Structure 1
């Protein structure tokens, strides 16, 4: 069962709160088909929050303390459900070969699905890890390789399985950390833009795509007062593309240089006759099809005139979404080189408008492209000798392969346009997740006639509810090998390293900080960043009373105002030396 407030994607592409869905309405499935809701029930049960694993740390570090707006992690994938809700997961099952030098053998590890009896008498099917040893010789290596090929043919590269939230703790630690949820691209659309422009839905003509591109370009570099777009005069490809796509609608871009010509040209989009450059025979805002589209489809907010992206654009036809996103990239985007391969692309788009940020996230995910959001605080910067006040900014990072390459093929800026791929692979995107208990909340059970996974508003694929969801179920297990970092809130089952006491209680991030700086707080065990150490040094040393009543001095911890201790020798070497040195004696090093 899903918690109240969960938004479901309907058949027409719009989203609706699960509490508002009625019996008989149609919702969108993860494979693009449409299914009908047969039954809805309501209850109050304990819910868990399923959240995407992320590396965002602004909410924990100095940035979140200085600017409260940066504490929010925007558009983190997740949903809230009950313990009995079923998750569709995937884990890697490709056999691997390890060298076991202690036993002088080759070890082959593989995974397969096996039935297991739970504590409450249910039989579930979950992945299990197996291994087989081979002699460490040339013949043993050949046998191990042949055995790996047989297992790969038998079980494949990935294992797909279903498991309830309460049974996640039954998975092995390695399998649990390598099990992934997915979000799916949406291949259908509502056709609102084409219906407004041509009177017919889903009519994907070059003129409709050019209008979608113009709207994206205007949202990035346009003015809200009139149809005017700033264009880099050195980017000849973008200027030529603007002229070409405007003429499909009888619009003729023109600009007038200042006394001192600037690089950025303020191009006005006139509608009407091109001849004579007589502005009286042309219209800037009156009868301009582009400006009418901006106003009538609410790309310009009525109450304050700010730019916004209407919600219908999130679920437009696929090619319209691609052209619209290409316009945004042409205006405010930057294509970053990636080292993963020639078909891997990464684009960064900056915007100050939350509506545009939301549109970039939803449209990118609907195309099968991963996207993350980071933020920048409001600041003042010197640009070409002038002081410029910058607003709070959203940095949208889009990463993908052929789906993103297909979007970039619609761009017209010279350094952003890429060739069109031969084929576009719109596969689901998989991501790791964690679960956290929330407490008692109102939940809804939604059953469909097909039983297929349905799509949430954030494009997550979730299974419809079954009979086991009607009543609240108990949880009899705890997470295996779960560890908590002593220096930060992170918890997990992997990648914990040795701290100053010799125990594996530091996460990878805190371990790297400790190895680099050597500082740790005696009160809260926090490991400060290098920047925080510099701030503490500028503040100077102070005296504090320790937990045992003694007075000690040192740098001050920025988190709890405790004393920062510097370990000159740290890591495994420190533990070995402390164990080998008798108490009260100092080792003597001979020269």
Structure 2
């Protein structure tokens, strides 16, 4: 149905949504009776479509990428054009803040208005309550307990439009996230194919073995077929390759190549000795389109069906890819997995499989350039992080064969292992996935052709190509997933609240190390890691900040007294944390002469050199790729230095192709005026 009326909601022309079988269809081609995929993995039937002209906005995921040098938006960011009134799903974190003013205590807690006026949804707001100086600590904590118990997992989830978010104050808008939906639908493809190939029922171990082999082949496999590039001394990976092949009636032969090095080639043969003929792996690569066009020697490809494969197959595939091309590390307490690739089909596959599993993904782009002894193509570097689905992240790592990837090496001073799964109290959805929160911005996109989708069930949802959760045009909007009014017995239970600040328990809580029957929130935990101080009053247990400890010392240096209840405060004796010192004390950065750094790195332009640069200088060079050509100076230029140098030299040099002099040694640099 067409109309020139302004739309109440809808998606812009060209946007695509998922059908029930996970195929994508343009919104303008959706018809009445079509079955769409919903956020909970079920289906939603289309009851009506309305084509309208309306005001639209661009919703774009925020990033920390440097876009000054990029020709377009960084790869992998979520972006979509929708009606300013289209209902999406957002999450706003509940904020608790305690202030002291003129002998009064003000407690600010995010809450939801009880009544929605003029048909508007109930939006979160900051509520405050003032306690006089005679109020007890117990009374203040009782108030915090009741208010924080109204949220679900410490957050309020909203079905509203981006226009509705304008009513939020600055703090709540910053605390709001757009929710993306992992793909919970599972359509097995690999298992039926294996049963067809072997003409018998296959085991779970065989399915996992083939999924791992496919991921490992995408990374280290040869396009010729069942052959891999290996490290001859990487026994963990080689043994996994051997065992996986054996489960599929293949045997591994490893032969070293080169003179005295570790490079080796592994080949999988069938039990009758053939290489690619009747090979389960090679046949799977062709039939399932891991070859681009289904023919041997074609480009590698990650087929679209992998985003809806079973969770086990997706996890094993990613584990194989990490074993071949990836690495993991615990960088200052943050566990991450790095996977570089120079091939767009593999790049797209890593992104959509990672997103389908609900993982946080960042992408860095390194442009094509000539390095010493080799030419580097355009490279996309992925970092997979825990995000909201920690169990899935750790399940992937645990499926890796390489020990150093299952147990990431620690770089720099590691915080308490907040990322480790053992002590977390997580809450998963019914299908095992949690929504992915992302930061976002929206901007006016003018008047556009929009398409409203009316679903048979007005409260149902559908998913866009970007995995945004959209709701039917007939949906009323409102607050979802807030807790019921807590009972008195719930309020009285200590285990339901933070050991220190008394906010209600959520998925970020961890066990208190010295009192495992209690848990504490992430804020109190991090504050204690910094100060090591806690009030000894069992009714208070306040963990002071560094500024509060300074106030205590100014008030009474000999005995620290809690600012809340005036009881004694225990201060843990700790050694002063010294800066990280290199394992090689005599080493200095070849560019800035720094003697300490979190990590020493090779010279990007000469990997064989024994000289090293600090991480700060490496970051500068990665941003600009500019340096001084004097080997004794070797100054590396950051963005701001480069801009200033070019601006100051515009009037001094006539030849645009001449290299600019280094401001430190006056020798030529790689920077040209042009």
Q: Flag whether TM exceeds 0.5 (same fold).
A: yes
Where do residues 230-269 of structure 1 align in structure 2 (5 Å cutoff)? 230-258=229-257, 260-269=259-268
Provide the rounded CA distance (Å) in 2 between the counterparts of 1:32 and 1:259. Answer: 52
The one-character-per-residue Cα deviations of 1:360-400 (angstroms, maximum 9, x if unpaired) are: 11111211211121111112334xxxx11111001111111
Cα displacement string for residues 274-304 of structure 1 (whole angstroms, at most 9, x for unaligned residues)? xxxxxxxx11121111111111222112388
Q: Using the alignment, how far apart are the partners of 2:167 and 2:41 within structure 1?
A: 32
Contact 1:216–1:326 at 8 Å: present in 2 too? yes
* Partner residue in 2 for 1:417: 406
Q: Which is strand-richer, 1 or 2?
A: 1
Q: Does 1:533 align with 2:533?
A: no
1:95 Cα shift?
Answer: 2.9
Q: Does 1:295 align with 2:304?
A: no
Partner of 1:559: none
Deviations 1:530-563 (A, max 9, x none): 443256437745669xxxxxxxxxx9xxxxxxxx
Query: Quick check: 2:56–2:444 contact (8 Å CA) kept in 1?
Result: yes
SS of residue matched to 1:321: helix
Alignment partners' CA distance in 2, 1:93 and 1:468: 23
Alignment of 1:515-534 (within 5 A): 530-534=638-642
Secondary structure of the residue aligned to 1:442 is strand
Are residues 1:146 and 2:142 paired?
yes
* 2:316 corresponds to 1:323: yes
Contact 2:179 2:438 in 1 (8 A): yes
Report what 1:279 is aligned to: none
CA distance in 2, matches of 1:353, 1:424: 37
Matches within 5 A, 1:435-446: 435-446=442-453
The question of 1:449 aligning with 2:449 is answered no
Gaps spanning 5+ residues in structure 1: where?
A: 274-281, 470-528, 545-554, 556-591
Contact 2:88 2:469 in 1 (8 A): no
CA contact (8 A) 2:179 2:435 kept: yes
Q: Which residue of 2 is the match for residue 372 of structure 1?
A: 362
Shift in Å, 1:461: 1.7
In structure 2, the residue matched to 1:7 is 16
Q: How has the CA–CA distance of structure 1 residues 433 and 225 changed in structure 2, closer, same or farther, with 3 Å as cutoff? A: same
Distance 1:204 1:12 in 2: 25
Structure number with the bigger relative contact order (C-alpha 8 A, sep ≥ 6) is 1
Match of 1:356 in 2: 346
Question: 430, 435, 441: which one pairs with 1:428?
Answer: 435
Residue matched to 1:108: 107
For 1:191 and 1:416, how far apart are their aligned partners in 2? 28
List aligned pairs for 1:322-341, cutoff 5 A. Answer: 322-340=315-333
- Secondary structure, counterpart of 2:228 in structure 1: strand
Does residue 29 of the first structure (1) align with residue 34 of the second (2)? no
Question: How far apart in 2 are the matches of 1:406 and 1:94?
Answer: 32
Deviates more, 1:149-158 or 1:443-452: 149-158
After TM superposition, the structure 1 = structure 2 runs for residues 463-542 of structure 1, keeping only pairs within 5 Å, are 463-466=471-474, 530-534=638-642, 536-537=644-645, 540-541=648-649
Matches within 5 A, 1:161-176: 161-176=158-173
Query: CA RMSD for the aligned pairs?
Result: 3.1
Shift in Å at residue 257 of structure 1? 2.4
Match of 2:306 in 1: 313
Q: Is the 8 A contact 2:86 2:470 kept in 1?
A: no
Q: Identify which range, 178-187 or 368-377, moves more after superposition.
A: 178-187
CA distance 1:4–1:116, change in 2 (3 Å): farther
Quick one: distance in 1 between partners of 2:306 and 2:115? 46
**Counterpart Cα distance in 2 of 1:416 and 1:347:** 8
Match of 1:458 in 2: 466
Paired with 2:11 and 2:649, the residues of 1 have a C-alpha distance of 53
Distance (whole Å) between structure 2 residues aligned to residue 345 and residue 204 of structure 1: 32
Equivalent-residue separation in structure 1 for 2:121 and 2:22 (angstroms)? 35
Q: Counterparts of 1:19 and 1:538 in 2: how far apart (Å)?
A: 50
Query: Are the structure 2 counterparts of residues 99 and 263 from structure 1 closer, same or farther at C-alpha, using a change threshold of 3 Å?
Result: farther
1: CA distance between counterparts of 2:201 and 2:451?
A: 34
Task: Check 1:135–1:541 CA distance in 2 against 1; reply closer, same or farther (3 A cut).
Answer: farther
Shift of 1:245: 0.2
Q: Which residue number corresponds to residue 581 of structure 1?
A: none
Q: CA contact under 8 A between 1:345 and 1:404: conserved in structure 2?
A: no
CA 1:203/1:144 → structure 2, altered by over 3 Å: closer, same or farther? farther
2:121 is paired with a residue whose SS is: strand
Could you tell me how far 1:240 is from its partner in structure 2?
A: 0.3
Alpha-carbon offset, residue 327 of structure 1: 0.9
Q: CA deviation at 1:260?
A: 1.5
What is the DSSP-based 3-state SS (H/G/I as helix, E as strand, rest coil) of the residue aligned with 1:225?
coil
Asked if structure 1 preserves the Cα contact closer than 8 Å seen for 2:44 and 2:461, the reply is no
- Deviation, structure 1 residue 72: 3.1
Once the 2 structures are TM-superposed, how far is the Cα of residue 458 of structure 1 from its aligned partner? 2.6
State how 1:171-190 maps to structure 2 within 5 Å: 171-190=168-187
Farther off after superposition, 78-87 or 369-378: 78-87
SS of the equivalent of 1:123 reads: coil
Shift of 1:145: 2.3
C-alpha distance in 1, partners of 2:218/2:475? 48
Q: Distance in 2 between matches of 1:259 and 1:178?
A: 56
SS for the counterpart of 1:269 is: strand
| Distance in 2 separating the partners of 1:320 and 1:38 | 35
Q: Indicate if the aligned counterparts of 1:405 and 1:418 stay in contact, CA closer than 8 A.
A: no
Q: Following the alignment from structure 1 to structure 2, what is the Cα–Cα distance between the partners of residues 464 and 253?
A: 54
Secondary structure, aligned partner of 1:255:
strand
| Aligned match for 1:130, one of 127, 132, 151 | 127
User: Which residue, 373, 383, 391 being the options, matches 1:402?
Assistant: 391
Tell me the residue number matched to 1:87: 88
The alpha-carbon distance between structure 1 residues 530 and 286, as it changes in their structure 2 partners (threshold 3 A), is closer
SS at the partner of 2:210? helix
